[in-house]
Amino acid sequence: MESSVKIPGTSWNMKVYQLEDSYNDPTVIVEFIKGIHVMHQFILEKEGTLEKIFQLFLERENLLIPENRLQYFINQQIGDIYKLTVNKPKRKKTTIKSMMNLSEMKDKKINIMGLSSSGKSSIYKVVFEQKKWWDLKDILPTQGIQQYEQTVNSLKDFKLYILDFAGNVHDFKLYRKDASKYFSTTSALVFVIDVSDPESLQDAVNKFSWSVNQMAEYAPEGRIFCLLHKTDLATQVDNFQGISDFIENSVNGIKTKIHIIPTSVRNNTIYLAWEQIFKSLIPKDKSLDILTQNLKEKLNLYNLLVLEKRTGLAICGSVGLLDNEVLVGTINKVWHQLGSLADDIELAGLQQITCSLGNGYLFLEEFEKNLILVMVSPKIDVLDKYKENIDRFKQEIIRAVI
Ligand SMILES: Nc1nc2c(ncn2[C@@H]2O[C@H](COP(=O)(O)OP(=O)(O)OP(=O)(O)O)[C@@H](O)[C@H]2O)c(=O)[nH]1
Ligand SMILES: [Mg+2]
């Protein structure tokens, strides 16, 4: 759905449309067109308002439109944009299911490797730092190896070490020299291949094949994932079967299963891929799920979950409306954003969020510093009415993860 309209008093047209595969929030693009050429492009969410976008456009083009006429035009467009975003078809959101067996958790190291500019650092920042893809267009090449530590469950001291390896030729030479150092104790290799760049494919596959061999030698228990990345730039009909076959053939003879997953930071595929990566590392804990399911039934909730705040991963969840699935990144993103708002207006830390929706309520509540209780309920009074049960449930969760 899109619209293109003439801007009154000028020779310009404006086109507003929504990105096809936008995942997070509706990504509305505003373009200013002269003749057949798109001369300026803005992202509504990034600039804030249509007024702001117009201000930028008029400044850049040194144009003047009488204030009242401009405002009238903008008001009309805002109505259309609103329709565009609310009519957005509901899509199934990405999820990370409850996947942590807390008794089996150990520190895990994940190597993200691939040629330079294949998108490794962007992937890290989108998945773990809640960055938007358009803020990463000017991301600089990584120098050396960037090491990140994610505390998946600080209470139990479970750590995820994520290593973002620079992809340039010089660095790859260093990795070759000292492969055992880089590959031993690796729980998962995530190799990123840019599918929008066919010229580099052979080089990428050679390096992937080499990395797979190093995994076989130094970390034979480790999992191997190959992300066919930047699929948004490839033609829509391509299902990447050709590239997948080519990659599989090039690593023939390796016992470990190689998971090949098409991804893009511009849609939910990148979260789905990480869901699979995490799942492969951490088996699901049944007992906490049963506990959750019981409380859900007692309180008559639509759904009940406990998330780890920093990563947005589910510790446990009930089977319900959302089919035991969590909106990856979404809930902790909301939490972090409101948390920083609280800082900005100089209020003490965020403790609870209550949302009133058309057919129920969403409650988010932080407990034990790093956990978020998520309840979706048809009734507003559950928090008070079942306070004791909820407190006991929280205690049991804390006991299980400490
Ligand atoms: N279209 C599109 N561009 C992407 C995607 N992921 C990353 N990019 C872009 O690819 C470029 C390179 O991204 P980086 O994340 O710096 O690549 P890198 O693999 O970390 O590169 P090195 O640090 O040099 O090894 C940036 O301009 C990103 O915006 C994607 O899914 N789609
Ligand atoms: Mg990088």
Q: Does residue 292's CB lie within 6 angstroms of at least one atom of ligand 1? A: no
CB atoms within 10 A of CB 43: 16
222 pLDDT more than 60: yes
pLDDT tier, 25 (very low <50, low <70, confident <90, very high otherwise): low
Closest residue (by CA) to atom 11 of ligand 1?
Answer: 117
Structure token pair of residue 72: 């009238």
Closest residue (by CA) to atom 2 of ligand 1?
Answer: 230
243 pLDDT more than 50: yes
Q: Which of the residue ranges 143-147, 219-223, 305-309 would you say has the lowest mean pLDDT?
A: 305-309
308 pLDDT more than 60: yes
pLDDT tens string 113-146: 999 999 999 999 998 888 888 889 889 999 999 9
Q: Does residue 169's CB lie within 6 angstroms of at least one atom of ligand 1? A: no
The 3-class SS string of the chain reads CEEEEECCCCCEEEEEEECCCCCCCCCEEEEEEECCEEEEEEEHHHHCCHHHHHHHHHHHHCCCCCHHHHHHHHHHHHHHHHHHHHCCCCCCCCECCCCCCHHHCCCEEEEEEECCCCCHHHHHHHHHCCCCHHHHCCCCCCCCEEEEEEEEEHHHCEEEEEEEECCCHHHHHHHHHCHHHHHCCCCEEEEEEECCCHHHHHHHHHHHHHHHHHHHHHCCCCEEEEEEECHHHCCCCCCCHHHHHHHHHHCCCCCCCEEEEECCCCCCHHHHHHHHHHHHHCCCCHHHHHHHHHHHHHHCCCEEEEEECCCCCEEEECCCCCCCCCECCHHHHHHHHHHHHHHHCCCCCCCEEEEEECCEEEEEEEECCCEEEEEEECCCCHHHHCHHHHHHHHHHHHHHHC
- Ligand 2 centroid, distance to 144 Cα (angstroms): 9
Q: Which domains does the chain have, with CATH numbers?
A: 2-86 (no CATH), 102-281 (3.40.50.300), 286-401 (3.30.450.190)
Q: Which of the residue ranges 111-125, 192-206, 241-255 would you say has the lowest mean pLDDT?
A: 241-255
pLDDT of residue 323: 44
Separation of alpha carbons 247 and 260, rounded Å: 9
290 pLDDT more than 60: yes
Q: What percent of the chain has pLDDT over 90?
A: 35
pLDDT of residue 321: 40
Closest residue (by CA) to atom 28 of ligand 1?
Answer: 137
Q: What percent of the chain has pLDDT over 70?
A: 83
Which of 210 and 399 is assigned the larger pLDDT? 210
Q: Provide the pairing of β-strand 158-165 with 108-114.
A: parallel
- Ligand 2 centroid, distance to 230 Cα (angstroms): 14
pLDDT of residue 92: 38
Of the candidates 250, 267, 245, 174, the one whose C-alpha atom is nearest the C-alpha of residue 208 is: 250
pLDDT tier, 319 (very low <50, low <70, confident <90, very high otherwise): low
- Ligand 2 centroid, distance to 197 Cα (angstroms): 17
Mutate to test the pocket of ligand 1, among 43, 134, 139 (most ligand atoms within 8 A of CB): 139
- Ligand 2 centroid, distance to 162 Cα (angstroms): 13
Mutate to test the pocket of ligand 1, among 20, 136, 148 (most ligand atoms within 8 A of CB): 136
pTM, rounded to two decimals: 0.60
Closest residue (by CA) to atom 12 of ligand 1?
Answer: 117
Q: Which of the residue ranges 113-127, 150-164, 334-348 would you say has the lowest mean pLDDT?
A: 150-164
Q: Does residue 116's CB lie within 6 angstroms of at least one atom of ligand 1? A: yes
Mutate to test the pocket of ligand 1, among 24, 122, 235 (most ligand atoms within 8 A of CB): 122
pLDDT of residue 203: 96
Q: Which of the residue ranges 9-18, 176-185, 215-224 would you say has the lowest mean pLDDT?
A: 9-18
Separation of alpha carbons 257 and 205, rounded Å: 16
Q: Does residue 267's CB lie within 6 angstroms of at least one atom of ligand 1? A: no
* Mean pLDDT of the residues in the chain: 82
pLDDT tens string 41-62: 888 878 888 889 999 999 999 8
Separation of alpha carbons 344 and 338, rounded Å: 10
Starting from the CA of residue 117, give the closest ligand. 1
pLDDT tens string 179-198: 999 998 899 999 999 999 99
pLDDT of residue 327: 55
293 pLDDT more than 60: yes
pLDDT of residue 285: 56
265 pLDDT more than 50: yes
pLDDT tier, 104 (very low <50, low <70, confident <90, very high otherwise): very low
Taking a C-beta distance cutoff of 8 angstroms, is the pair 11, 88 a contact? no
| CB-neighbour burial class of residue 101 (10 A; exposed 0-12, middle 13-18, buried 19+) | middle
